[in-house]
A and B are shown apart, each in its own frame.
Chain A
Amino acid sequence: MAGLGDTIELSLIKQMEMLAMSQPGVISLAQGIPSFDTPEPIKRRSVEAINEGRVAQYSSSSGLSDLREDIEDELERDGMSYDFAKEIIVTAGSIEAICATLLAILDPGDEVILPSPTYTSYVQAILVARGVPIFIPLHEESGWTLDLDCLKNKLTSRTRAILLCNPNNPTGSIFSKKQLLAIGAIAESYNLIILTDEVYKDFIYDKEAKNNFFTLASISALRHRVVRIFSFSKAYAMTGWRIGYLHTDRALAQRILRVHDSLITCAPVVSQHAAMAALRLKPHELQHYIDEYMVRRQILCDGLNALDEYFSHTVPAATYFVFPKIKIKMFPAYNGSFSFAKELLEKVNLAVVPGIAFGPEGEHHLRLSFGRSRHDINEGLRRLSVFIKMI
C-alpha cells in the first residue's frame, strides 16, 4: 500500500508558485496572501510575550485559556455562544483545523461534498483523512449559487460531511442565508457534519452584505453538526504565524481535540499571544486595510473591464480574488486554464492560478489576487494586455 506522500500531489497553487519562484522578474497575482505586514500592536505584543518568557512552553492542547476566552467574546459579538473551556480549539491555521476535523470524523472511503470551484487545498485535506472528495457545481450565472438538487443526488451511504468556504475562495461570492439553511436541513436529514471555513468573513466589502452575512454555527439546533473555522492569516495579515481556531459543540470538539493533540500538541504559543493582540485591535485599526483592498479591487476590475473582449468577470462581494472567465474563442490555441496560466508565466512573467485548480467548474477561469500591492496589480494587468497582443 502506498503512503500518502506517494499519492497526494502538491496543489496547483503551490505548483504555480514554485514555477513562478524559479523565474526572475515574475509578478505574482497568484498568491493568496496579503501584501501588508502584520499590524504593529500584534508584533509588539508578541515580542513582549517572548521577552516575558511566556512562549517557551506548550499551552494546553486547546490553546491559551485567555485567548479562548477572547474568542468566546468575539463569537458572542457575532451572535454565537460557544464555551471557551470545551468548545473552542486554537489551531495552526485553518487547514490544520480542517485536517483535524476530517481525521476525527471520517473512516477511510467516506465522502465529503465540496462545492466547485472552491479552495484547492480542501481536496488534499480530504485525501489526508483517506476520504473521497465529491464535487457539486456552483452556478456562475446565478452568482455562484449551490445546486441543491445536485447535492442531494450526490449523497450516498458514505457521505459524511459538507465542506464550505464562505465567503468562497476563489469566486468571492457569499452563500445566502436561504441556501445555507437548506444545506443545514439536508445535513440534519442525512446526519452530515458541516465544516464552514469563514476565513474571509472580514473581507466583505458591501455594508449590507456584511450585515446579512450568516453562519450556520449561529443556529443552536445545528451546533452539534457544524464546525466553524477561522484563521487570523488573512484578516490580520498573519499567514506566516499559522494561527486560527475552530468551534463546535463540546462532544464533537472533544473528538477533534484528540486528533489535534496528536497532530501538533498545541498551536505555536507565540502565535497565540499574537492572536490575542489581534482580537484586541479596534475595528478602526483594521478599516484602512479594507479600504485599501476596495481600491485594489476597483483597479483590478477596471483593468479587466478594459479587456472585456477576452475575459468576463463579476465584481467579488468578498475575499481578495477576482475570478475572470476566459473567453476561449478569442484564444485560438487555448488548451485549458492550466496551459493558459503556464503560458502567461512563460511569455510575460505573470503568475496567476488556473481555475481548474479549484475544481471542474473552475476550468476556463483564472484567479487573480488583489491582496497584492497596487503596483503589482497594475503591472500584472499591463502584462496581461501584452500577452493578449502576442496572440
Chain B
Amino acid sequence: MRIMLKKLVERYLRFLTGIVIYRHQPDIIAIAGITSKTTTKKYIVDHLRQIGLDVRANPKSYNTEIGLPLAVLYVEVSGYAWKSWLKTIWQCTTIALFSKRFPKILVLEFGVSGVGDMKHLLNIVKPRIAVFTNIRPSDFNPNTTIDELNSEMLDLMKVILNNGLVIYNWDDNNLRALANQFSGQKISYGIGEGADIQATNIQQHLDGLSWAVYGQKRKTIKSGLHHIYAELAADAVARSFK
C-alpha cells in the first residue's frame, strides 16, 4: 500500500513538473557525476547570477524521483506525516497550474545511485546543458559498477540535443571516453594538457588556492582541487550564456 502510494505521488509530481516546465520553458542545466555535484552547482549558480541571469538550484537532498519534481516546483516537504504530504501536494498543484513567476534557468543535481536512475530523472526533466564532474567507483553505491555508471552518464549525454551542450571533466578518463561518443557541442575543462578550459599554475597557499585560466590569475580561500574544477565548469556554463 505504502509503495503504491509512493508510486502514485511520484507520477502525480512528474505530471505537475511537466506542466510547470511546459508553461515556463526554463533552460535546464543538469549536473551529474559521482562527487562534487553540489560544489559545482553552487559555482554555476554564482557565475550565472553574476552575469545577471535569473537562476535557481535544487537543494542537495532533492535529486531523487520525488525530490527532483519538488526541486523544480520549489516546494519543501514540511514533514513526513500524511497531512504534511497532502499540504505539499496541494502546494505543488497550485504552483504548477497558477504560478506566474518562474526562474529562467534551473540548475539541478542528477544523482545516480543505480542502473536506471538516470532514465527516471530524464523522464521528469530534459536538460539542455549537462555538466559532468567525474565517474569513479563510489562507496555510496557499492553495488554499481563503473560500466553501469558510464552507461547512466551516457543516457544523459544522449538526450542533449543539437542546440545543447555537454561540459565535462577532461581529466577523467571515463568521461573523456564518453565524450568521444558524443557528436554534439561539447566543452572540456580540467588541469591536464588539452582541456578547452584549462587551469594552469596551480598553487596551494596557507589561505587557499590560486591558479590561472585564460592568462588571468584566480584565487579562492577554499581548500581542495575540486573547487578549481567547479570554477572551470561554471566558467564554461557562463560563457555559453554570453
Distance, CA A263 to CA B146, complexed state (A): 30
Majority-rule SS of A interface residues: loop
Cβ contact within 8 Å between B39 and A65: no
Cβ contact within 8 Å between B223 and A83: yes
Cβ contact within 8 Å between A83 and B224: yes
A198 close to chain B: CB less than 8 A: no
Name the one of B34, B61, B221 contacting A280, with C-beta atoms under 8 angstroms: B61
B141 close to chain A: CB less than 8 A: yes
Cβ contact within 8 Å between B207 and A44: no
Cβ contact within 8 Å between A40 and B143: no
Q: Shortest distance in angstroms between A51's beta carbon and chain B's nearest beta carbon?
A: 12
Size of interface on B: residues with Cβ below 8 Å to A: 24
A19 close to chain B: CB less than 8 A: no
Q: Shortest distance in angstroms between A253's beta carbon and chain B's nearest beta carbon?
A: 11
Distance, CA A76 to CA B141, complexed state (A): 26
Inter-chain contacts of A73 with B (CB < 8 A):
38, 60
Distance, CA A73 to CA B39, complexed state (A): 8
Q: Shortest distance in angstroms between B24's beta carbon and chain A's nearest beta carbon?
A: 27
A119 close to chain B: CB less than 8 A: no
Segment among A84-92, A94-102, A164-172, A289-297 that sits at the interface with chain B: A84-92
Q: Shortest distance in angstroms between A184's beta carbon and chain B's nearest beta carbon?
A: 14
Cβ contact within 8 Å between B221 and A220: yes
Q: Annotate A67-89 by CB proximity to B: 1 below 8 A, 0 otherwise.
A: 00110110010000111111100
B241 close to chain A: CB less than 8 A: no
Q: Quick one: given A40-B80, A70-B60, A220-B221, are A54 and B39 in contact (CB under 8 Å)?
A: no
Q: Annotate A250-293 by CB proximity to B: 1 below 8 A, 0 otherwise.
A: 10000000000000000001000000000010000000000000
A107 close to chain B: CB less than 8 A: no
B215 close to chain A: CB less than 8 A: no
Q: Shortest distance in angstroms between B209's beta carbon and chain A's nearest beta carbon?
A: 10
- In the A-B complex, list the 3 residue pairs whose CB atoms are closest, starting with the nearest: A83-B224, A220-B207, A59-B139
Some 13 contacts from A to B, beta carbons below 8 A apart, are: A53-B142, A54-B140, A64-B139, A69-B35, A70-B60, A76-B222, A81-B208, A82-B223, A83-B224, A83-B226, A85-B224, A220-B206, A220-B208
